[in-house]
Structure 1
Amino acid sequence: MGDEAMGRFPVPDREELPEDVRERIEAETEEAGFTPNVFDAFAYKPEHFRPFFDYHDALVESTPLSRAEVEMLVVTVSGVNDCLYCVVAHGALCRIYADDPQLADQLATNHRTADLSKRHRAMLDFAEKLTEEPGRVDDADVQALREAGFSQEEVWDVASVVAVFNLSNRMATVADMRPNEEFYDLGR
């Protein structure tokens, strides 16, 4: 696949990036031990980089959903969308946060094959429908989440994660974003 973060657009030179974007990438690199390619790729447009990662951070930091639930949503949506980057990168995070080395692979290919609680099955069924048939989501779908134990805020957050990662998957596909080799082995 090559070493570049993405295949269809040029990866910007970090030294030419605005200081705040450079600092964010450096912080992520220090925390992960490598630079996840999504940071170099989204730095292509710094004015998009900032709100994208601000929203991502809000989704994972300001929610009653567990981080494992957020990553389960991302992997399921990314599998439906055939987004290699997000399946691999968030698959690693799902394995880590769920403490389950098999779950991400099951979710990426068909979440119905995974041994899930009623709550998580309802969440992922909803995520799949919102991804594939957004115009068909109705009161009954939201009510199914409520009956599975999700609060009103959690329903909002489930929908927000699904929406943002549908956007992210499409950008990763158009950019030909490449998964870092490091992600493949994490959490196994």
Structure 2
Amino acid sequence: MSDQVSRFGAVELEDLPEDLRGRIGAIAEKSGFVPNIFRALGRRPAELRAFLDYHDALMERTDGLSKAERELVVVATSAANHCTYCIVAHGAILRVRTKDGELADKVAANPWQVELDERGRAIVDLALAVAQDSERFGQADLDRARTAGLTEDEIWDIGAITALFAMSNRLAHFTALAPNPEFYLMGRTPRGA
């Protein structure tokens, strides 16, 4: 297996500008490693800042969708787009947030058929509609989401998260971004094991 992070290279934490070093350093301190997406995008600091700002605006909200539901959107979107990096990385985060060692793998393997409660199914179906058939997306998709009880803000968040991660999925494909080995075990084994 190659140790290459990206076909365009990567930077180390200490090589980032000070503001990004602090932001990414906080993530690394919490997780125990620097996720490769930040090392790859760090080659272009302005783009990394923009990515982090939009990511945090969507994923760090505390109203509406839970943090686990936000990760569910990411894993479903990434599965639809066959993005190994995002499936592995966000599958790990979904396992941690849900404390469910199987859900992320089931969503990643087949988001169209995974058994979910009504709300979860509506979230995944809306993400898949935006990720796969955005040119056909319309009122019927919104009506199904509303019928399942999703609010307008939650529907917006699902669409925006799906759009951001569709872009992220394509960047990961373009750069041949390798998942960090640490992601594979997160949420599967006790921390520190």
TM-score by structure 2 length?
0.92
Unaligned runs of 5+ in 2: 189-193
Matches within 5 A, 1:29-178: 29-62=28-61, 63-178=63-178
User: In the alignment, is the contact (CA less than 8 A) between 1:25 and 1:40 conserved in 2?
Assistant: no
C-alpha displacement of 1:13: 4.7
The verdict on how the C-alpha distance between 1:79 and 1:15 changes in structure 2, with shifts beyond 3 A counting, is same
C-alpha displacement of 1:37: 0.7
Helix, strand or coil at the partner of 1:5: coil
Question: Relative to structure 2, which stretch is displaced further, 132-141 or 21-30?
Answer: 21-30
Q: Deviations over 1:94-138 (max 9, x none)?
A: 111112111111101112432201111121111112111101000
Q: Which runs of at least 4 in structure 1 moved beyond 6 Å after TM superposition?
A: none
Q: Deviations over 1:11-31 (max 9, x none)?
A: 135444321112222111111
Query: In structure 1, how many angstroms separate the alpha carbons of the residues matched to 2:126 and 2:77?
Result: 10
Helix, strand or coil at the partner of 1:38: helix
TM-score by structure 1 length?
0.94
Q: Give the AA of the match of 1:103.
A: L
Q: Give the AA of the match of 1:49.
A: L
Question: Relative to structure 2, which stretch is displaced further, 46-55 or 16-25?
Answer: 16-25
Query: Identity of counterpart residues, as a percentage?
Result: 44
User: In the alignment, is the contact (CA less than 8 A) between 2:80 and 2:111 conserved in 1?
Assistant: no
The verdict on how the C-alpha distance between 1:12 and 1:113 changes in structure 2, with shifts beyond 3 A counting, is same
Question: Relative to structure 2, which stretch is displaced further, 74-83 or 9-18?
Answer: 9-18
Aligned position for 2:191: none
Q: Per residue, is there more helix in 1 or in 2?
A: 1
